[in-house]
Amino acid sequence: MSKTIRIAAALLLDPQGRTLLVRKRGTQAFMQPGGKIEADEQPVSALARELFEELGLAIEAQDAEYLGQFSAPAANEPGFVVQAEIFKVHTAMPVEPAAEIEEVVWVSARKQLTLELAPLTRDLILPLYRQLTTAPA
């Protein structure tokens, strides 16, 4: 049985409709910003804390729209599965990589990516993002 890492992550969208991917220091794969949920923490609180720690981005709980729970093999911990609570967050604020984040990149739904992506991002979140951004209003 694989071990589970519970995380909260953001499908973070800018005014141009692009989404933000981050890469942690010492790793190769890009993924959604976010991080581990503490034992006594609500997922949306963990998300707000992580976005502030990693990107200097302050959000309110009501700014985060819950999209669901997704699971995939962990990108940086072999033998682990990430169980992610995913929230859609819109921001026009600039983001700055901080804490363990080494690189950030805004990507468009229409562009083919050549970046190395975490399984959760590649297989679940980016397809959802493309679906959300191409769906008729």
Q: In terms of Cα–Cα distance, which of 124, 117, 128, 116 is closest to 88?
A: 128
Amino acid (1-letter code) at residue 37? I
The total of other beta-carbon atoms located within 10 Å of residue 39's CB is 6
- Residue 17: burial class (beta carbons within 10 Å; 0-12, 13-18, 19+): middle
User: For the chain, what are the domain ranges?
Assistant: 1-132
* One CATH from 1.10.20.60, 3.40.190.10, 3.40.50.2300, 3.90.79.10 for 1-132: 3.90.79.10
> pTM, whole model, 2 decimals?
0.93
**Tens-of-pLDDT digits for all 137 residues of the chain?**
569 999 999 999 999 999 999 999 999 999 999 999 999 999 999 999 999 999 999 999 999 999 999 999 999 999 999 999 999 999 999 999 999 999 999 999 888 889 999 999 999 999 999 998 875 65
